[in-house]
Amino acid sequence: MKPSAPFAADLAPDEIIIESGRADAHYWRDLWRYHELLWFLALRDIKVRYKQAVLGAGWAVIQPAMTTVLLTFVFGKLAKMPAGNAPYPMLVLAGLLPWQLFSNAFNGAGSSLISNAQLISKVYFPRMVAPLSALAVALLDMAIVLALAAPVALAYGVVPTWRLFLLPLFIVGCLVVALGAGLWITALTVKYRDFRFITPFLLQIGLFVTPVGYRIDNIPSWRGLLALNPLTGVVDGFRWCLLAGDTVLVPLELVASGGIGALLLWSGIWYFRKTERRFADVI
């Protein structure tokens, strides 16, 4: 990241009107001005998380590794679901990457304002910086796993193709869904602390209604319904990019996922902006 000019320079006519119910005219510009804070908060969360853990950043890898083994066992060995031409663990891992990205971002965003309550009540910054920094942390975690999974995948004989270059597209898709859902949960958690208890449930359910441990084409009767889950398209996309296997992308499903994801993000931003002005009063 390039160091930016001091704030004063890019804001010559620096006038602010403070008024009840005033939609901030410079909302997005303001958010951009605070992008360094976003980065510092993410950095803080990463450093602090591993500072007192003996295994340190190892946890970023152990968690998905264990989940991969578990899901491979349950779906691949017990339920004997077909894996197509990719090894079952790789199938699971490719699905787990976006799922972990989503669930970490969602979880982190949900608690981001509560855990920064001190800041919210004492300092002004665009409130969206907090959930966004949770997103950055999740992204970094995924990058670590992705990097470490590469040699394992090669060992399983999974060789990347040109499709790998389309992966960022699906990462962005995953972030859109995560941010949309994250903004909802963030705003709701500030208002109703109940959502701290609801979040784990939602994630547990999500793990099963998202085709992480199985392939969606194995359960055709549910396929239409599952396609309404915007993560379905993302997971399929990840598999399509990472495993040179026989994952088939269905355009209609992608459009559905994209559309629902965009709707989620749009409504999330709307609800967040509607409620954020009162955060300091209720937090």
Partner 1 sequence: MPEPAITIQDIGKRYVIGRASHPSTFRDALVGKFRGMRSALGRLSGRDPGAADGSTEDFWALSNVSFDVQKGEVVGLIGRNGAGKSTLLKILSRITEPTTGRIKVRGRVASLLEVGTGFHPELTGRENLFLNGAILGMSRAEIRRKFDEIVAFAEVEKFLDTQVKFYSSGMYVRLAFAIAAHLEPEILIVDEVLAVGDINFQRKCLGKMRNVSTQEGRTVLFVSHNMAAVNQLCGRAVWLEHGRVRGDGLTREVCANYLSSGAVDQGEMNWPEGVAERGVDDFKFLSIRATDLQGRASAAFGVAEDFIIELRFRVLQPLALARIGFLVTTTDGTVIFDAYDSDEPDAWGKREVGAHLLRCRVPGALMQPGNYLVYANADVPNLRGLFRAEAGITLTLDGAHADYGTGPVRREGLILPKLQWTHEMP
Interface residues with partner 1 (CB under 8 A) are 3-8, 11, 14-21, 34, 36-37, 40-41, 43-44, 47-48, 51-52, 116, 118-125, 191-195, 277-278, 280-282
CA 26, distance to chain mean position in Å, is: 26
Contact 200, 140 (CB under 8 A): no
The distance of closest approach from Cβ of residue 103 to partner 1 in the complex, given in angstroms and rounded to an integer, is 22
Residues written for the chain? 283
Cβ contacts of 201 within 8 Å, gap of 6 or more:
none
Q: Using CA atoms, how far apart are residues 209 and 240, in angstroms rounded to an integer?
A: 19
Question: Closer to partner 1 at the Cβ: 40 or 222?
Answer: 40
The distance of closest approach from Cβ of residue 12 to partner 1 in the complex, given in angstroms and rounded to an integer, is 10
The distance of closest approach from Cβ of residue 127 to partner 1 in the complex, given in angstroms and rounded to an integer, is 10
Residue 171's closest CA among 249, 264, 234, 260?
234
Question: Closer to partner 1 at the Cβ: 63 or 275?
Answer: 275
Cβ contacts of 154 within 8 Å, gap of 6 or more:
none
Question: Closer to partner 1 at the Cβ: 101 or 188?
Answer: 188
Question: Closer to partner 1 at the Cβ: 29 or 193?
Answer: 193
Phi, psi of 26 (to 5 degrees): -110, 35
CA distances from 82 to 70, 79, 145, 180, 253 (A): 16, 9, 25, 33, 21
The distance of closest approach from Cβ of residue 140 to partner 1 in the complex, given in angstroms and rounded to an integer, is 17
The distance of closest approach from Cβ of residue 167 to partner 1 in the complex, given in angstroms and rounded to an integer, is 30
Question: Closer to partner 1 at the Cβ: 4 or 267?
Answer: 4
